[in-house]
Structure 1
Amino acid sequence: MEEKRLIDLIDELMTKLNSTKTSHPHGRWTETPKSKSTTSKKPRRSKTAYQLKISLNGIRPPIWRRVLVPGHATFHDLHLIIQEAMGWEQAHLYEFDFGSVLIGIPDGWDSFQLEKELMDARRIPLQQWLTEEKQKFLYIYDFGDYWRHTVTVEKIETLPKPLERATCLKGKRACPPEDCGGVYGYLELLEAAAQKDSLADPELRELVDWMYDMKGEDFDPDAFDVEEANERLAYIRL
Protein backbone atom coordinates (compact mmCIF):
# COMPACT_ATOMS: atom_id res chain seq x y z
CA MET A 1 0.00 0.00 0.00
CA GLU A 2 2.82 2.40 0.91
CA GLU A 3 4.55 1.64 -2.40
CA LYS A 4 1.36 2.45 -4.33
CA ARG A 5 0.95 5.75 -2.46
CA LEU A 6 4.55 6.65 -3.26
CA ILE A 7 4.03 5.92 -6.97
CA ASP A 8 0.85 8.03 -6.98
CA LEU A 9 2.68 10.94 -5.33
CA ILE A 10 5.52 10.73 -7.88
CA ASP A 11 3.03 10.71 -10.77
CA GLU A 12 1.25 13.73 -9.32
CA LEU A 13 4.53 15.61 -8.89
CA MET A 14 5.68 14.86 -12.45
CA THR A 15 2.32 16.02 -13.82
CA LYS A 16 2.67 19.34 -12.00
CA LEU A 17 6.25 19.81 -13.17
CA ASN A 18 5.36 19.10 -16.79
CA SER A 19 2.40 21.48 -16.67
CA THR A 20 4.55 24.44 -15.63
CA LYS A 21 6.95 24.36 -18.56
CA THR A 22 6.68 24.61 -22.31
CA SER A 23 8.82 25.56 -25.26
CA HIS A 24 8.71 27.36 -28.58
CA PRO A 25 11.17 27.40 -31.50
CA HIS A 26 11.55 31.18 -31.22
CA GLY A 27 11.95 31.22 -27.42
CA ARG A 28 13.49 29.25 -24.55
CA TRP A 29 12.19 27.08 -21.73
CA THR A 30 10.30 29.20 -19.21
CA GLU A 31 7.88 28.76 -16.36
CA THR A 32 4.23 29.15 -17.19
CA PRO A 33 2.70 32.02 -15.15
CA LYS A 34 0.40 30.36 -12.63
CA SER A 35 -1.91 33.35 -12.49
CA LYS A 36 -2.93 32.97 -16.14
CA SER A 37 -6.11 31.07 -16.87
CA THR A 38 -5.93 28.34 -19.51
CA THR A 39 -9.64 28.60 -20.24
CA SER A 40 -11.58 31.22 -22.12
CA LYS A 41 -15.17 32.09 -22.83
CA LYS A 42 -16.48 30.43 -25.97
CA PRO A 43 -17.62 32.75 -28.79
CA ARG A 44 -21.33 32.94 -29.52
CA ARG A 45 -22.48 30.19 -31.88
CA SER A 46 -22.38 31.18 -35.53
CA LYS A 47 -24.29 30.01 -38.59
CA THR A 48 -21.15 30.56 -40.64
CA ALA A 49 -19.37 27.37 -41.70
CA TYR A 50 -15.99 26.91 -43.35
CA GLN A 51 -14.97 24.16 -45.73
CA LEU A 52 -11.23 23.79 -45.20
CA LYS A 53 -8.65 21.65 -46.96
CA ILE A 54 -5.64 20.66 -44.85
CA SER A 55 -2.65 19.46 -46.89
CA LEU A 56 0.56 18.10 -45.35
CA ASN A 57 3.45 19.85 -47.08
CA GLY A 58 6.41 18.06 -48.68
CA ILE A 59 4.91 14.62 -49.34
CA ARG A 60 3.79 13.12 -52.65
CA PRO A 61 1.29 11.66 -53.33
CA PRO A 62 -0.42 14.27 -51.12
CA ILE A 63 -1.81 13.59 -47.65
CA TRP A 64 -4.85 15.80 -47.11
CA ARG A 65 -8.23 16.17 -45.40
CA ARG A 66 -11.33 18.23 -46.20
CA VAL A 67 -13.36 19.32 -43.16
CA LEU A 68 -16.45 21.42 -42.43
CA VAL A 69 -16.14 23.52 -39.27
CA PRO A 70 -18.33 26.17 -37.58
CA GLY A 71 -17.24 29.79 -37.62
CA HIS A 72 -17.50 30.08 -33.83
CA ALA A 73 -14.84 27.38 -33.33
CA THR A 74 -11.60 28.81 -31.95
CA PHE A 75 -8.20 28.22 -33.48
CA HIS A 76 -7.46 25.86 -30.60
CA ASP A 77 -10.59 23.94 -31.61
CA LEU A 78 -9.26 23.88 -35.16
CA HIS A 79 -5.98 22.46 -33.85
CA LEU A 80 -7.93 19.61 -32.22
CA ILE A 81 -9.99 19.10 -35.39
CA ILE A 82 -6.88 18.85 -37.57
CA GLN A 83 -5.30 16.43 -35.10
CA GLU A 84 -8.25 14.05 -35.21
CA ALA A 85 -8.97 14.41 -38.93
CA MET A 86 -5.34 13.85 -39.90
CA GLY A 87 -4.66 11.13 -37.32
CA TRP A 88 -2.10 12.91 -35.13
CA GLU A 89 -1.99 12.22 -31.39
CA GLN A 90 -1.87 15.70 -29.76
CA ALA A 91 1.62 14.96 -28.48
CA HIS A 92 3.32 18.28 -29.31
CA LEU A 93 2.94 22.05 -29.48
CA TYR A 94 1.50 23.86 -32.48
CA GLU A 95 0.94 27.25 -34.08
CA PHE A 96 -0.99 28.84 -36.94
CA ASP A 97 1.08 31.18 -39.10
CA PHE A 98 -0.63 34.07 -40.89
CA GLY A 99 2.58 35.76 -41.98
CA SER A 100 3.03 38.64 -39.55
CA VAL A 101 0.95 36.98 -36.82
CA LEU A 102 1.19 33.63 -35.03
CA ILE A 103 -1.81 32.07 -33.28
CA GLY A 104 -1.03 29.46 -30.63
CA ILE A 105 -0.78 28.93 -26.87
CA PRO A 106 1.31 31.81 -25.45
CA ASP A 107 1.66 30.63 -21.83
CA GLY A 108 5.32 30.19 -21.00
CA TRP A 109 6.71 31.63 -24.22
CA ASP A 110 9.17 34.52 -24.10
CA SER A 111 7.01 36.68 -26.32
CA PHE A 112 9.57 39.47 -26.34
CA GLN A 113 11.92 37.10 -28.20
CA LEU A 114 9.39 36.27 -30.92
CA GLU A 115 9.78 37.88 -34.32
CA LYS A 116 6.01 37.90 -34.85
CA GLU A 117 3.00 38.90 -32.77
CA LEU A 118 1.60 35.92 -30.87
CA MET A 119 -2.15 35.61 -30.23
CA ASP A 120 -4.00 33.15 -27.98
CA ALA A 121 -5.62 30.38 -30.04
CA ARG A 122 -8.14 29.69 -27.26
CA ARG A 123 -9.65 33.17 -27.52
CA ILE A 124 -9.87 33.74 -31.27
CA PRO A 125 -12.80 32.37 -33.33
CA LEU A 126 -12.15 31.35 -36.92
CA GLN A 127 -14.60 33.95 -38.24
CA GLN A 128 -12.35 36.70 -36.89
CA TRP A 129 -9.51 35.77 -39.26
CA LEU A 130 -11.01 33.67 -42.05
CA THR A 131 -12.66 36.30 -44.21
CA GLU A 132 -12.53 35.10 -47.81
CA GLU A 133 -12.49 31.98 -49.94
CA LYS A 134 -9.10 30.81 -51.27
CA GLN A 135 -7.42 32.31 -48.19
CA LYS A 136 -4.42 30.22 -47.07
CA PHE A 137 -2.41 29.92 -43.85
CA LEU A 138 -0.04 27.46 -42.20
CA TYR A 139 -0.64 25.02 -39.36
CA ILE A 140 2.65 23.85 -37.87
CA TYR A 141 2.67 20.84 -35.56
CA ASP A 142 5.61 19.49 -33.52
CA PHE A 143 8.45 22.02 -33.48
CA GLY A 144 10.95 19.13 -33.65
CA ASP A 145 9.67 17.16 -36.64
CA TYR A 146 8.12 20.43 -37.87
CA TRP A 147 5.11 19.18 -39.80
CA ARG A 148 3.82 22.05 -41.97
CA HIS A 149 0.22 21.91 -43.20
CA THR A 150 -1.30 24.36 -45.68
CA VAL A 151 -4.90 25.19 -44.75
CA THR A 152 -7.06 26.53 -47.59
CA VAL A 153 -10.48 28.14 -47.13
CA GLU A 154 -12.39 26.46 -49.97
CA LYS A 155 -15.90 27.67 -49.12
CA ILE A 156 -17.63 30.01 -46.68
CA GLU A 157 -21.29 29.14 -46.16
CA THR A 158 -24.20 30.43 -44.10
CA LEU A 159 -26.24 27.54 -42.73
CA PRO A 160 -29.83 27.49 -41.37
CA LYS A 161 -28.44 26.77 -37.89
CA PRO A 162 -24.98 26.59 -36.29
CA LEU A 163 -22.94 23.41 -36.64
CA GLU A 164 -22.47 21.55 -33.38
CA ARG A 165 -19.40 19.61 -34.46
CA ALA A 166 -16.83 19.38 -37.22
CA THR A 167 -17.14 16.84 -40.02
CA CYS A 168 -14.50 15.29 -42.23
CA LEU A 169 -15.84 15.19 -45.78
CA LYS A 170 -12.98 13.48 -47.56
CA GLY A 171 -9.27 12.75 -47.41
CA LYS A 172 -6.37 10.89 -48.94
CA ARG A 173 -3.62 8.72 -47.48
CA ALA A 174 -2.65 7.90 -43.91
CA CYS A 175 -1.04 10.19 -41.36
CA PRO A 176 2.67 9.59 -40.62
CA PRO A 177 3.65 8.24 -37.18
CA GLU A 178 4.60 10.69 -34.45
CA ASP A 179 8.31 11.40 -33.84
CA CYS A 180 9.51 9.76 -37.06
CA GLY A 181 11.85 12.60 -38.05
CA GLY A 182 9.54 14.80 -40.09
CA VAL A 183 8.99 14.64 -43.85
CA TYR A 184 12.41 13.22 -44.74
CA GLY A 185 12.38 10.70 -41.91
CA TYR A 186 8.94 9.47 -42.97
CA LEU A 187 9.92 9.18 -46.64
CA GLU A 188 12.97 7.12 -45.66
CA LEU A 189 10.74 4.88 -43.53
CA LEU A 190 8.36 4.30 -46.44
CA GLU A 191 11.24 3.50 -48.77
CA ALA A 192 12.67 1.02 -46.27
CA ALA A 193 9.25 -0.54 -45.62
CA ALA A 194 8.79 -1.17 -49.35
CA GLN A 195 11.84 -3.45 -49.29
CA LYS A 196 11.51 -4.73 -45.73
CA ASP A 197 12.01 -8.41 -46.57
CA SER A 198 15.32 -7.73 -48.30
CA LEU A 199 16.75 -5.12 -45.91
CA ALA A 200 20.30 -5.95 -44.86
CA ASP A 201 20.71 -3.05 -42.43
CA PRO A 202 19.44 -4.16 -38.98
CA GLU A 203 18.88 -0.54 -37.90
CA LEU A 204 16.58 0.08 -40.86
CA ARG A 205 14.68 -3.12 -40.11
CA GLU A 206 14.29 -1.98 -36.51
CA LEU A 207 12.94 1.41 -37.63
CA VAL A 208 10.43 -0.24 -39.96
CA ASP A 209 9.31 -2.56 -37.15
CA TRP A 210 8.94 0.51 -34.91
CA MET A 211 6.68 2.19 -37.49
CA TYR A 212 4.38 -0.83 -37.61
CA ASP A 213 4.39 -1.02 -33.81
CA MET A 214 3.28 2.63 -33.71
CA LYS A 215 0.69 2.47 -36.50
CA GLY A 216 -0.37 -1.18 -36.36
CA GLU A 217 0.68 -4.24 -38.34
CA ASP A 218 -1.98 -3.49 -40.97
CA PHE A 219 -0.72 0.07 -41.54
CA ASP A 220 -1.21 1.14 -45.16
CA PRO A 221 0.31 4.56 -45.98
CA ASP A 222 -2.09 4.93 -48.91
CA ALA A 223 -5.27 4.26 -46.91
CA PHE A 224 -7.68 6.69 -45.22
CA ASP A 225 -10.96 5.89 -43.46
CA VAL A 226 -13.27 8.92 -43.32
CA GLU A 227 -15.68 7.14 -40.94
CA GLU A 228 -12.92 6.59 -38.38
CA ALA A 229 -11.94 10.25 -38.67
CA ASN A 230 -15.51 11.33 -37.96
CA GLU A 231 -15.74 8.99 -34.98
CA ARG A 232 -12.74 10.81 -33.49
CA LEU A 233 -14.14 14.24 -34.37
CA ALA A 234 -17.42 13.43 -32.59
CA TYR A 235 -15.65 13.79 -29.23
CA ILE A 236 -14.74 17.45 -29.85
CA ARG A 237 -17.28 19.82 -28.30
CA LEU A 238 -17.74 23.11 -30.14
Structure 2
Amino acid sequence: MEEKKLMDLIDELMTKLGSTEPARPRGRWVEATKSKSSPSKKPRRSKTAYQLKISLNGIRPPIWRRVLVPGHATFDQLHLVIQEAMGWEQAHLYEFHFGDIVIGIPDDWDFYGFGKMFEDARHIPIEQWLKKEKQKFQYTYDFGDYWRHTITVEKIETLPKPLERATCLKGKRACPPEDCGGVYGYLELLESAANKDSLTDPELRERLDWMYEMKGDDFDPDAFDVEEANERLAYIQL
Protein backbone atom coordinates (compact mmCIF):
# COMPACT_ATOMS: atom_id res chain seq x y z
CA MET A 1 0.00 0.00 0.00
CA GLU A 2 1.38 3.43 -0.95
CA GLU A 3 2.45 5.55 2.03
CA LYS A 4 0.07 8.45 1.27
CA LYS A 5 -2.92 6.14 0.79
CA LEU A 6 -2.02 4.33 4.01
CA MET A 7 -1.84 7.54 6.04
CA ASP A 8 -5.09 8.82 4.48
CA LEU A 9 -6.82 5.56 5.46
CA ILE A 10 -5.58 5.83 9.04
CA ASP A 11 -6.70 9.49 9.29
CA GLU A 12 -10.14 8.57 7.89
CA LEU A 13 -10.60 5.76 10.40
CA MET A 14 -9.51 7.94 13.32
CA THR A 15 -11.94 10.68 12.20
CA LYS A 16 -14.82 8.19 12.15
CA LEU A 17 -14.02 7.17 15.69
CA GLY A 18 -14.53 10.75 16.86
CA SER A 19 -12.62 12.87 19.32
CA THR A 20 -14.65 12.01 22.44
CA GLU A 21 -13.87 8.97 24.60
CA PRO A 22 -16.89 6.63 24.91
CA ALA A 23 -17.43 4.23 27.78
CA ARG A 24 -14.96 1.35 27.81
CA PRO A 25 -16.37 -1.97 26.55
CA ARG A 26 -17.62 -4.75 28.83
CA GLY A 27 -15.53 -3.64 31.83
CA ARG A 28 -12.38 -5.30 30.52
CA TRP A 29 -10.25 -2.19 30.73
CA VAL A 30 -8.92 -0.63 33.92
CA GLU A 31 -7.19 2.72 34.13
CA ALA A 32 -3.62 2.43 35.38
CA THR A 33 -2.91 4.08 38.73
CA LYS A 34 -1.02 7.33 38.22
CA SER A 35 2.22 7.58 40.13
CA LYS A 36 2.83 10.61 42.34
CA SER A 37 6.57 10.33 41.82
CA SER A 38 8.52 11.86 38.95
CA PRO A 39 7.30 10.69 35.54
CA SER A 40 9.12 7.73 34.01
CA LYS A 41 11.10 8.07 30.83
CA LYS A 42 8.87 7.95 27.77
CA PRO A 43 9.52 4.76 25.78
CA ARG A 44 10.96 5.04 22.31
CA ARG A 45 8.32 5.12 19.59
CA SER A 46 9.06 3.49 16.27
CA LYS A 47 8.12 4.82 12.84
CA THR A 48 8.20 1.26 11.54
CA ALA A 49 4.75 -0.20 10.87
CA TYR A 50 3.95 -3.86 10.38
CA GLN A 51 1.07 -5.06 8.25
CA LEU A 52 0.09 -8.42 9.73
CA LYS A 53 -2.44 -10.99 8.57
CA ILE A 54 -3.96 -13.01 11.42
CA SER A 55 -5.57 -16.26 10.29
CA LEU A 56 -7.46 -18.64 12.58
CA ASN A 57 -6.24 -22.17 11.89
CA GLY A 58 -8.49 -25.11 11.04
CA ILE A 59 -11.64 -23.36 9.77
CA ARG A 60 -12.83 -23.03 6.17
CA PRO A 61 -13.86 -20.66 4.72
CA PRO A 62 -11.04 -18.88 6.59
CA ILE A 63 -11.49 -16.37 9.39
CA TRP A 64 -8.82 -13.67 9.20
CA ARG A 65 -7.92 -10.03 9.92
CA ARG A 66 -5.35 -7.66 8.42
CA VAL A 67 -3.97 -5.11 10.90
CA LEU A 68 -1.38 -2.36 10.99
CA VAL A 69 0.72 -2.20 14.19
CA PRO A 70 3.72 0.00 15.17
CA GLY A 71 7.05 -1.68 15.79
CA HIS A 72 7.31 -0.37 19.37
CA ALA A 73 4.16 -2.29 20.42
CA THR A 74 4.99 -5.10 22.83
CA PHE A 75 3.81 -8.64 22.23
CA ASP A 76 1.37 -8.18 25.11
CA GLN A 77 -0.08 -5.18 23.26
CA LEU A 78 -0.17 -7.21 20.05
CA HIS A 79 -2.19 -9.78 21.98
CA LEU A 80 -4.74 -7.04 22.79
CA VAL A 81 -4.81 -5.96 19.15
CA ILE A 82 -5.51 -9.53 18.03
CA GLN A 83 -8.25 -9.88 20.64
CA GLU A 84 -10.09 -6.74 19.52
CA ALA A 85 -9.55 -7.19 15.78
CA MET A 86 -10.70 -10.82 15.86
CA GLY A 87 -13.53 -10.27 18.35
CA TRP A 88 -12.27 -12.44 21.22
CA GLU A 89 -13.13 -11.48 24.81
CA GLN A 90 -9.68 -11.49 26.44
CA ALA A 91 -10.84 -14.16 28.87
CA HIS A 92 -7.96 -16.65 28.65
CA LEU A 93 -4.17 -16.98 28.59
CA TYR A 94 -2.11 -16.76 25.40
CA GLU A 95 1.32 -17.45 23.93
CA PHE A 96 3.30 -16.50 20.83
CA HIS A 97 5.56 -19.17 19.35
CA PHE A 98 8.77 -18.68 17.36
CA GLY A 99 10.06 -22.22 17.10
CA ASP A 100 11.46 -23.12 20.54
CA ILE A 101 10.89 -19.56 21.80
CA VAL A 102 7.63 -18.89 23.66
CA ILE A 103 6.54 -15.31 24.37
CA GLY A 104 3.74 -14.79 26.89
CA ILE A 105 2.93 -13.83 30.48
CA PRO A 106 4.92 -15.83 33.09
CA ASP A 107 2.68 -18.41 34.75
CA ASP A 108 4.50 -21.39 36.29
CA TRP A 109 6.60 -21.66 33.15
CA ASP A 110 9.25 -23.76 34.92
CA PHE A 111 6.63 -26.47 35.42
CA TYR A 112 6.18 -27.28 31.73
CA GLY A 113 9.24 -25.82 30.04
CA PHE A 114 10.29 -28.98 28.18
CA GLY A 115 13.43 -27.34 26.84
CA LYS A 116 11.71 -24.24 25.49
CA MET A 117 12.90 -20.70 26.18
CA PHE A 118 10.35 -18.25 27.59
CA GLU A 119 10.21 -14.47 27.20
CA ASP A 120 7.93 -11.96 28.94
CA ALA A 121 5.53 -10.47 26.36
CA ARG A 122 5.18 -7.25 28.37
CA HIS A 123 8.77 -6.21 27.78
CA ILE A 124 9.52 -7.22 24.17
CA PRO A 125 8.64 -4.94 21.23
CA ILE A 126 7.47 -6.80 18.15
CA GLU A 127 10.22 -5.24 16.01
CA GLN A 128 12.75 -7.24 18.05
CA TRP A 129 11.44 -10.47 16.49
CA LEU A 130 9.75 -9.42 13.26
CA LYS A 131 12.60 -8.91 10.83
CA LYS A 132 11.37 -9.65 7.33
CA GLU A 133 8.30 -9.77 5.15
CA LYS A 134 6.60 -13.17 4.69
CA GLN A 135 7.83 -14.22 8.15
CA LYS A 136 5.28 -16.38 10.00
CA PHE A 137 4.74 -17.17 13.66
CA GLN A 138 2.01 -18.68 15.83
CA TYR A 139 -0.37 -17.19 18.39
CA THR A 140 -2.31 -19.54 20.69
CA TYR A 141 -5.28 -18.27 22.68
CA ASP A 142 -7.14 -20.27 25.37
CA PHE A 143 -5.20 -23.40 26.29
CA GLY A 144 -8.48 -25.30 26.69
CA ASP A 145 -10.19 -24.61 23.37
CA TYR A 146 -6.70 -24.09 21.91
CA TRP A 147 -7.36 -21.50 19.22
CA ARG A 148 -4.23 -21.36 17.08
CA HIS A 149 -3.61 -18.43 14.74
CA THR A 150 -0.97 -18.08 12.05
CA ILE A 151 0.38 -14.53 11.79
CA THR A 152 2.11 -13.47 8.58
CA VAL A 153 4.24 -10.34 8.23
CA GLU A 154 2.89 -9.04 4.91
CA LYS A 155 4.64 -5.66 4.82
CA ILE A 156 7.16 -3.65 6.81
CA GLU A 157 6.95 0.10 6.14
CA THR A 158 8.52 3.27 7.51
CA LEU A 159 5.94 6.00 8.13
CA PRO A 160 6.44 9.78 8.55
CA LYS A 161 5.44 9.50 12.22
CA PRO A 162 4.80 6.66 14.69
CA LEU A 163 1.35 5.12 14.85
CA GLU A 164 -0.53 5.82 18.07
CA ARG A 165 -3.06 3.05 17.55
CA ALA A 166 -3.38 -0.16 15.64
CA THR A 167 -5.74 -0.22 12.67
CA CYS A 168 -7.73 -3.06 11.17
CA LEU A 169 -7.57 -2.76 7.38
CA LYS A 170 -9.71 -5.72 6.38
CA GLY A 171 -11.06 -9.06 7.53
CA LYS A 172 -13.39 -11.93 6.76
CA ARG A 173 -16.01 -13.80 8.78
CA ALA A 174 -17.08 -13.59 12.40
CA CYS A 175 -15.09 -14.70 15.42
CA PRO A 176 -16.31 -17.92 17.10
CA PRO A 177 -17.87 -17.66 20.58
CA GLU A 178 -15.61 -18.16 23.58
CA ASP A 179 -15.56 -21.59 25.27
CA CYS A 180 -17.43 -23.37 22.47
CA GLY A 181 -15.04 -26.33 22.34
CA GLY A 182 -12.41 -25.11 19.91
CA VAL A 183 -12.42 -25.66 16.15
CA TYR A 184 -14.39 -28.93 16.21
CA GLY A 185 -16.92 -27.61 18.70
CA TYR A 186 -17.51 -24.51 16.58
CA LEU A 187 -17.84 -26.49 13.34
CA GLU A 188 -20.42 -28.70 15.06
CA LEU A 189 -22.34 -25.60 16.15
CA LEU A 190 -22.30 -24.21 12.60
CA GLU A 191 -23.59 -27.51 11.23
CA SER A 192 -26.33 -27.54 13.87
CA ALA A 193 -27.28 -23.95 12.98
CA ALA A 194 -27.53 -24.87 9.29
CA ASN A 195 -29.93 -27.72 10.18
CA LYS A 196 -31.68 -26.20 13.19
CA ASP A 197 -35.19 -26.75 11.79
CA SER A 198 -34.65 -30.52 11.70
CA LEU A 199 -32.38 -30.78 14.75
CA THR A 200 -33.60 -33.45 17.19
CA ASP A 201 -30.62 -33.92 19.51
CA PRO A 202 -31.54 -32.04 22.74
CA GLU A 203 -27.88 -31.51 23.68
CA LEU A 204 -27.10 -29.92 20.31
CA ARG A 205 -30.23 -27.77 20.59
CA GLU A 206 -29.09 -26.59 24.00
CA ARG A 207 -25.60 -25.77 22.71
CA LEU A 208 -27.08 -23.91 19.74
CA ASP A 209 -29.30 -21.84 22.06
CA TRP A 210 -26.18 -21.09 24.12
CA MET A 211 -24.33 -19.85 21.02
CA TYR A 212 -27.11 -17.44 20.10
CA GLU A 213 -27.29 -16.29 23.70
CA MET A 214 -23.56 -15.55 23.60
CA LYS A 215 -23.39 -13.98 20.12
CA GLY A 216 -26.94 -12.69 19.64
CA ASP A 217 -29.95 -14.06 17.78
CA ASP A 218 -28.78 -12.35 14.59
CA PHE A 219 -25.32 -13.97 14.69
CA ASP A 220 -23.99 -14.45 11.15
CA PRO A 221 -20.78 -16.53 10.95
CA ASP A 222 -19.96 -14.95 7.58
CA ALA A 223 -20.23 -11.34 8.76
CA PHE A 224 -17.42 -8.96 9.70
CA ASP A 225 -17.58 -5.20 10.38
CA VAL A 226 -14.20 -3.46 10.01
CA GLU A 227 -15.48 -0.21 11.53
CA GLU A 228 -16.68 -2.05 14.63
CA ALA A 229 -13.25 -3.68 14.93
CA ASN A 230 -11.57 -0.28 14.75
CA GLU A 231 -13.87 1.10 17.42
CA ARG A 232 -12.59 -1.63 19.74
CA LEU A 233 -8.96 -1.05 18.71
CA ALA A 234 -9.27 2.66 19.50
CA TYR A 235 -9.06 1.85 23.22
CA ILE A 236 -5.53 0.48 22.88
CA GLN A 237 -2.94 3.24 23.01
CA LEU A 238 0.47 2.08 21.84
Q: Normalising by structure 2, what TM-score?
A: 0.81
The residue type paired with residue 118 of structure 1 is: F
Provide the residue aligned with 2:83 in structure 1: 83
Matches within 5 A, 1:10-159: 43-106=43-106, 108-111=107-110, 113-115=112-114, 116-159=116-159
What does 1:86-235 align with in structure 2 at a 5 Å threshold?
86-106=86-106, 108-111=107-110, 113-115=112-114, 116-235=116-235
Number of residues of Structure 1 aligned to a counterpart in Structure 2: 198
Query: Unpaired runs of 5+ in structure 2?
Result: 1-39
Taking a change above 3 Å as real, the CA distance of residues 221 and 74 of structure 1, as seen in their structure-2 partners, is same
Give the distance between the partners of 2:62 and 2:111, measured in 1 at CA. Answer: 37
Look up the match of 2:8.
none
For 1:185 and 1:85, the matched residues in 2 are separated by 22
SS for the counterpart of 2:157 is: strand
**Quick one: structure 1 residues 221 and 236, their matched pair in 2 at CA, closer, same or farther if it must change by over 3 Å?**
same
Paired residue secondary structure (2:183): helix
CA contact (8 A) 1:43 1:73 kept: no
Query: Is the alpha carbon distance of 1:51 and 1:42 closer, same or farther for their aligned partners in structure 2, counting shifts above 3 Å?
Result: farther
Report deviation, 1:236: 0.5
Contact 1:42 1:123 in 2 (8 A): no
Deviation at 1:197?
A: 1.4
Per-residue deviation at 1:110? 3.5
- Residue 77 of structure 2: SS of its match in structure 1? helix
CA–CA separation in structure 2 for the residues paired with 1:48 and 1:87: 26
TM-score by length of 1: 0.81
- Aligned-partner SS, 1:89: coil
Q: Provide, for residues 126-146 of structure 1, a one-character-per-residue CA deviation record: whole Å limited to 9, x for no partner.
A: 110000000000000000000
* 1:203 CA displacement: 1.1
Percentage of pairs with the same residue: 83
Q: CA deviation at 1:198?
A: 1.1
Q: Deviations over 1:103-161 (max 9, x none)?
A: 0001x314263021010000000110000000000000000000000000000000000
Structure 1 position 187, deviation (Å): 0.2
8 Å Cα contact 1:43/1:125 also seen in 2? no
CA contact (8 A) 2:55 2:151 kept: yes
AA matched with 1:231: E
CA distance in structure 1 between the partners assigned to 2:217 and 2:72 by the alignment: 39
